[in-house]
Every structure is written in C-alpha cells, then in structure tokens.
Structure 1
Amino acid sequence: MEETAPATDLTTLRRGLQILELLRSSNPSASMWTNKEIADTLSLDKSVVSRTLRVLVDLGFVERSADGRTFAPGSKVYPLGARSVNQDVLRAAATVVREIVRMTQARSYLSVRSDMDAMTLWSDQPVRARPRVHSIGTTFPLGVSEAGRALLYGSPPTEIKQVAAEMRRIGVGHADQLAGQIELDRRVGYSWRRADESGVAVPVWDTRNEAVIGALGVASEGLSSRDVAEATAQLLMAAASNLARRIHATETHSTTMAPLPFSGWPEMPTDMFPLSSRSLDGETFPEFLGD
C-alpha cells in the first residue's frame, strides 16, 4: 500500500511554489528579493523562508546574489518554462515582433492569456533604445492594460464579469468600466492606453476568427496621439493576421502563406516612425519575413 506523503511535505512544497510564483510575477525593476521581503509579502516566518530558499537554491530553481542577501529565479526555471510554450508560436512571434519594431522603432510585444493574467510571451525593442522594463515572462491582471483587454475580445459577458470581479478582489481600479471599455475597443478594432508610455494592442485571432490566441502591441511615448494610435493599430492588424497565418501554416505543415488583408499601409508619422515615414505597400511583411 502506497504511503501518503506527510502534511509537512505538502506544506513545504506549497511554500516553495509560492516563493517561485512571487519571484516570477514580481515587477522586473524589483527582480531581486530579500528574505525579509519574501517573508513579509507571503506572511511567513523568516526562518521558514530561509530554509525553503536554501532547498530551492540547492536545486537550481532560485539563485542567490553574490552578497547572499537577495534572491531571483534560477537557471532551472528557464527550461521548465520553455517546455511549456509552443515553440512554433514563439518563433513566429519573434519574427513578426521584430518586423514591427523595425517599422515603428518602438517596443513591441506579444501577450497571451494565463488564467486571469496577461503574460508577455515575447518582446523586442530598437537596438538604440534602452528598455524601460525587461518584460518577457511578466504578468499583469487582465483588464488593466491594452493587451489584456485585447485578449478579452472573444470572451462572453460572463467571463468578462469574472475578470472584473478578480480586479475588484485584488484592488485594481476601473473594474466597473471594463465591459463597456472592451465593447468600445471591439468597435474600433484595437485597445488604447494613454500614459507616460502609451500603448496600442490588437487581438490575434485564429485563422477561423473563432478564438483570440494572443495580443500584439506597441508601447511608446508617441502613442499618446490618437492619430498615431490609429495608424499603429492598422499596422498591428496586418501583423496579427500575418502571425495567425504563420502559426496556422506551421501547425498544418503548409509552406504557403495567405496574402495580407490590407492592400496598403497608412503613412507613418515621422516623429514616431522615422524609418517608415514613406507609404508602405502590403507586401512589406511577406517580403521581409519570407515564406
């Protein structure tokens, strides 16, 4: 007869997973945590956290800083996470996101849904620009960002209510306006957020337009202008269609690419898109990316 694991072992496992979750989901600007910060955040005793961290460090899932005072996710976390991501989607996203960066000279990203969060699956920025955040792998509550709202375009009202309820539970504002904002976003085809670094995002639908599989977005100070936001949204819509077709072609082992749905591109404002101030034709993505 198989013995049942002691309750203490399950408690230790739960604590270890809680610590890994905290290190994973933390703000990238605070990627290193002290023992005390972890204990205070998770309401645990410092000695308990210290023992759990020692095990995680020994196994390679957490790394300790040179001075021994702070902790961050370790090298063993990467292969575990990498195996959980569809590699075909990741490769297609990296190629398309890179082209968006080339055309806009702004940070671009692909986000996917992870339960009640939006997770940045891939992100890239111009070489000349120093990234404000290291966003790959970070998560944010659905509904608080343009990407999160775009991920909800295909969701029924009951599901959006659940997201709004979760926003209220964790103390995120604007929960009551979420359903109305998503409805407005759906009408124009994109989600827009005005801030110090404004953002625009569009949904990536599957090739049957039945489900949202991700959200493509661009973040830049220049996106505070509605005209720039609309021009960027048109670019992202074409890119999202291209990405969906690439993923579909990979999944079906097809070597052909369907044409983009737009015959031309809007002229990009020169103050935000210095490399794309001329009008671009609809072959830009296929020509650059290849088949």
Structure 2
Amino acid sequence: MADDPSSSLRRALDLLDGLASDDAVAQGGWGVNRLAAHLGRDKSQVSRTLRVLADASYIERDAESLRYRIGWHVFALASRAADQRLLVAAAPVLRRLVEHDLGERIHLTVLKGAEVLTVMTEAPSHSVQSVAWAGRLVPAHNTSSGRSLVIDFERDDLARLFAGVEFQVGGPNAPRDVDELYDRIRVARRAGYAIVDEEFEPGLVAASAPVRGFRGDVVAALNVSGPKFRLGNRLAIAGHVVKAAADELSRQVGWDGRTPFGFTDGAIAPEIPA
C-alpha cells in the first residue's frame, strides 16, 4: 500500500528536523538506525525517505561514516529566503532608527568585492538628499559599513580583498594601508560596531554594525552617517544603538545567537567576494 502523500511529507520534514538538531550536527550526522530511533519510525520507511531527500540534495551521505547530514539545497533555499526576509525586515528597523532613535540617514549595505553597495536607505524629513545613496558603490576600506562587512576578516583576507586598492583616497583620517585597516577592524570587532571619523570624506562621521545570517556569517551592515558637527559628539552612542538594531535584524533573518559577534575558535572562515 502506497504511503499517504501527507505522511511522506511529514516524515521527510521530521527527518530534516532531526538532522538539523544540535546532537546530529555535533556528531557529524546520523545514520538510519539513529534517525529511526530518534523519530520512532520504521527503518525501512526512514531509509526510503532518506534516499529521496539525498537524490534531491536536501541531505547528503558521508561515504566513510555512512551518516546523513543536511545538504547544500537546504542551505541554498535558506540563503534565498534570508535575502528576501532581510529586505522585508529591514524597512521598519531603518524607519525606527531615523524617526525615533537617531534622526540621521540610515543605510542597509552589502559587500561587493572591495566596495560597499547600499541596497536600502532611509532619510530624516529635514535631510537635503544631495546624493542618491541607494544603488551607490563606495569603498569598503574607509567606510563604517565596509568595516562591519569585513569585521570577521583576518589580515591575509584583507590583503587579498584590497589588492590594488588605493588607500590614500578619501578623508583625512582614512587608513593608509592594510595593516592600519586591520588594526581598526580589531577595535570594531571588540566593540561589536565600527565608527569612522572623517575617513570617507571631510566633515562626515558614521557608525555601523554587522547583520548576521542563520550561519553566523555577516550578510549585511546597518549604517548611520551624518555631519560631524551634528553626530560627532554622540558617535559612540550611535554605535551602540545601531548594534542593537543590527542584532535585532540578525535574529529576524535566522541568527540564533549561538555564534557571538566577533571571532571565536569555531568562526566561519570568511569568503572573499568576487
């Protein structure tokens, strides 16, 4: 007798939940017997469902241990869903930061090579917008957003990312080389947010914090920027406010808090964007 489709789907979802559990991940996956015992299901049913999931790359089987673990297709779906969720969740956060918390221009940014792309911006009503920020690319090495987006990078990662970049351009306080940039990133890592003071251009200051995805990696940054005469004396406060908002946004897109901000021994190695 054929399985009821809803029962088969329920069994597949239960198997995915089991393989995503802390115990299964810590043990490098589970075999058929362990999964059947965990779910209280017949081994033959579990085995058939595992084969279907493996054929579709939702799970994968280790050739040596014969254990199953979550496959690339699940991570690809989660990544696409997180991207969409990020934009939906970010809009009210940006508005709140502008209207109630900081009163300055707020940006949501992502890393594109050695530059920062603004994907969303919210400006206060008193602002005169001389530059259309959304869709604009700016250097990553002398902006607070850039610093948050590479906050997990080590010096060698930075050297590869910024190979050929002219560090001297920008404001009077821009970092002069990779070593100086790395020193500033380490300061930002300890604080959980980055601040820049006339690094991008004279008279402009900014604060930013990383937004992390479900794997704990940095997927975006929240940034506040404004003229030094207005924002300069409350820049550290702005950093704390933006960090709290970035943490909130991180949780909304799937970050569960188990990967702390900053580096740990189990940190995910950063990927160098193309």
TM-score (norm 2): 0.54
Please state whether the residue corresponding to 1:168 is helix, strand or coil.
coil
Deviation at 1:198, TM superposition (A): 1.1
Query: Equivalent residues in 2 for 1:87-236 (5 A)?
Result: 87-102=84-99, 103-168=101-166, 174-176=176-178, 177-195=180-198, 196-208=203-215, 210-221=216-227, 222-225=230-233, 228-236=234-242
Aligned equivalents of 2:116 and 2:220: distance in 1? 9
Aligned equivalents of 1:169 and 1:220: distance in 2? 22
Q: Which amino acid letter does the alignment assign opposite residue 97 of structure 1?
A: L
Alignment check: 8 A CA contact 1:167 1:175 kept: no
How big is each residue's C-alpha offset from its partner over 1:250-279, in whole Å with a ceiling of 9 and x where there is no partner? xxxxxxx99xxxxxxxxxxxxxxxxxxxxx
Aligned equivalents of 1:236 and 1:97: distance in 2? 10
How big is each residue's C-alpha offset from its partner over 1:206-250, in whole Å with a ceiling of 9 and x where there is no partner? 245x3111111111222222xx1111111111111111122229x
Give the gaps of 5 or more residues in structure 2: 1-79, 258-274
Give the gaps of 5 or more residues in structure 1: 1-82, 250-256, 259-291
TM-score (norm 1): 0.51
Aligned equivalents of 1:247 and 1:186: distance in 2? 21
Match of 2:246 among 217, 240, 245: 240
Aligned equivalents of 2:149 and 2:177: distance in 1? 16
How big is each residue's C-alpha offset from its partner over 1:173-201, in whole Å with a ceiling of 9 and x where there is no partner? 62241111111221222211123121111
Percent sequence identity is 24
Which has more radius of gyration?
2
Count of aligned pairs between the two proteins? 166
Deviation at 1:170, TM superposition (A): 9.3
Aligned equivalents of 2:248 and 2:182: distance in 1? 28
Q: CA RMSD in A?
A: 2.8
Aligned equivalents of 2:86 and 2:108: distance in 1? 10
Alignment check: 8 A CA contact 2:114 2:162 kept: no
Aligned equivalents of 2:164 and 2:189: distance in 1? 22
